[in-house]
Amino acid sequence: MGQTQAIFVIIFSLLISGLFSGIQMAYLTASRLHLELQEKQNSLAGRIIAHFLKRPSKLTATLLIGQTLALVLFGVTLAFILHQSLEPHWPVFPFSEFLLILAEILIAALLALVLAEFLPRSLFLINANQMLQVFAVPMLVLYYILYPVVFVIISITRFITVKILKLEFSEQQPVFGLTDVEHYVKKQLYQPDQPEITAKVDSKIFHNALEFRTVKVKECMIPRIEIEAVEITNSISDLRQVFMETGHSKILVYNQTIDNIVGYCHQLALFKKPIDITSITTPITVVPESMLASELFVKFVADHRSMALVVDEFGGTSGIVTIEDLIEEIFGEINDEYDDEAEALLEQYLPDENSYLFSARHEIDYLNEKYSLDLPEGDYETLGGFILSVHEDIPEPDEVILIPPYVVTILSMAENRIDTVQLGLPASPTLATDTEDAV
């Protein structure tokens, strides 16, 4: 290999290594929300980046393998040039050959660290999202060139992980959180001459709207136990009484059992002076628990409906969901003039006992976000569901359940449902720092 060719190889390997190193830094620091929105614009770069984000293990393997190969090529070629240049002028003394090799290694390492690591990473870090878009196409080309090697590496990794170590191998999909949303909103909407505009933007609503596409009907429905309904054979007087007691505008109607809902009655239908409930019963939309809330919202708008019956896998009544329930997933709890403040869910802090009084109907997400309790999430939505999943039995009033690091005391039960609990906190006072004013 001639010296000119060797220099060309060194420059080429440094550029390739720097590209892989820079893209790796950009991938780690880029705004996930910005990348998600870029995909929605249906641009070529956005689709390529989305392709990689859905396959993080393949992207990581491509970057590491490509950078490693480029650095090996750089090191071998540079050592060849340095050896040809330094050896004729290198003094002869004991261990001179060893010191010559050491000097070549140090020079190669210094150049690789500065030109193939520090410099490209610093450049890509300045505007990570823009850099990913600019180099999306070259990265895709290099990805397909290295695909055979990447495929072999990932296959070996899967074999070792699953077959030998007996561990689960799964893709960890990159996600964006509320912090990403806040940064994105501030960056997009900030106006130097009117900074108060950014302050008025509720990032949490924006975040909820983006997450709404993954919410299922089961997560926002009114459960079966809280359904207010009348039997179709009941009298109009019975129906009127239920309307008066509940304050609802619609009441479900069932035939013999709550698992056989035939429709609902609207309170305005009573002005027609009906002779029986059957004459004013309106058919109700039936949806499964697994249906996406966003799909149901579209269905509500298309069918001009505002309430649906939710059924489980066996066709039994699981609950009901209204368009208000779906909207609350984005904007939070909506209270109107008919909502009774006395029915607000219990949440009270007891400083003397370093504990909380909670309604078991509180959602785990809400408690973790407001009180930083770090309660584990699972196949349940509420605090009561969490307690039942751990206790694996119907508790009794005043029963104490240890759920480290918390101590749960069952204060009251509503039939077989946990009503209110006392949640004892750990000894550390940090969890109750900002909760003295809890209602």
Predicted confidence (pLDDT) per residue in 360-388, tens digit: 888 888 888 888 888 888 878 889 989 99
Mean of the pLDDT values across residues 292-297? Answer: 88
Q: What angle do CA 215, 221, 227 make, to 5 degrees?
A: 175
Quick check: 428 pLDDT over 80? no
pLDDT for the residue 298: 86
Question: What six digits make up the tokens of 362?
Answer: 């509180």
Burial of 338 per CB tally in 10 Å (0-12, 13-18, 19+): exposed
- R_g of the chain, CA atoms, integer Å: 32
Question: May I ask the CATH architecture of the domain 345-432?
Answer: 2-Layer Sandwich (3.30)
Top mean pLDDT of 94-98, 152-156, 402-406 is at 402-406
Confidence band, pLDDT 50/70/90 cuts, at residue 321: very high
Mean of the pLDDT values across residues 21-50? Answer: 72
- For the chain, percent of residues with pLDDT exceeding 90: 21
Contact partners, residue 425, CB within 8 Å, separation at least 6: 354, 355, 356, 405, 406, 431, 432
Residue 321 near residue 221, CB atoms below 8 Å: yes
Top mean pLDDT of 128-132, 216-220, 254-258 is at 254-258
Quick check: 8 pLDDT over 50? yes
Contact partners, residue 306, CB within 8 Å, separation at least 6: 300, 322, 323, 324
How many whole angstroms separate alpha carbon 105 and alpha carbon 79? 8
Amino acid at position 288, single letter: P
CA torsion 255-318-210-366 (nearest 10°) is: 120
Contact partners, residue 158, CB within 8 Å, separation at least 6: 169
Residue 17 near residue 74, CB atoms below 8 Å: yes
Quick check: 438 pLDDT over 50? no
222: three-class secondary structure by DSSP: strand
400: three-class secondary structure by DSSP: strand
Mean of the pLDDT values across residues 232-255? Answer: 91
The β-bridge relationship of strands 285-288 and 307-311 is parallel
pLDDT for the residue 259: 92
pLDDT for the residue 281: 93
pLDDT for the residue 143: 84
pLDDT for the residue 198: 47
How many whole angstroms separate alpha carbon 52 and alpha carbon 59? 6
Question: What six digits make up the tokens of 212?
Answer: 């709404």
Contact partners, residue 403, CB within 8 Å, separation at least 6: 387, 390
Average pLDDT, the chain: 80
Contact partners, residue 212, CB within 8 Å, separation at least 6: 293, 294, 329, 330
Nearest to 201 by CA among 187, 213, 217: 187
**Can you give the residue ranges of every domain in the chain?**
3-164, 178-214, 217-331, 345-432
Confidence band, pLDDT 50/70/90 cuts, at residue 96: confident
Mean of the pLDDT values across residues 192-204? Answer: 52
Residue 230 near residue 238, CB atoms below 8 Å: yes
Tell the CATH topology of 217-331: CBS-domain (3.10.580)
Name the DSSP letter for residue 379: S
Higher pLDDT, 95 or 189: 95
Mean of the pLDDT values across residues 61-89? Answer: 84
Predicted confidence (pLDDT) per residue in 146-196, tens digit: 888 888 887 888 788 778 877 765 555 544 444 454 555 555 555 555 555
pTM here is 0.49
pLDDT for the residue 341: 45
Mean of the pLDDT values across residues 206-230? Answer: 81
Quick check: 342 pLDDT over 50? no
Confidence band, pLDDT 50/70/90 cuts, at residue 205: low
pLDDT for the residue 99: 83
Quick check: 430 pLDDT over 50? no
How many whole angstroms separate alpha carbon 344 and alpha carbon 433? 23
Quick check: 433 pLDDT over 70? no
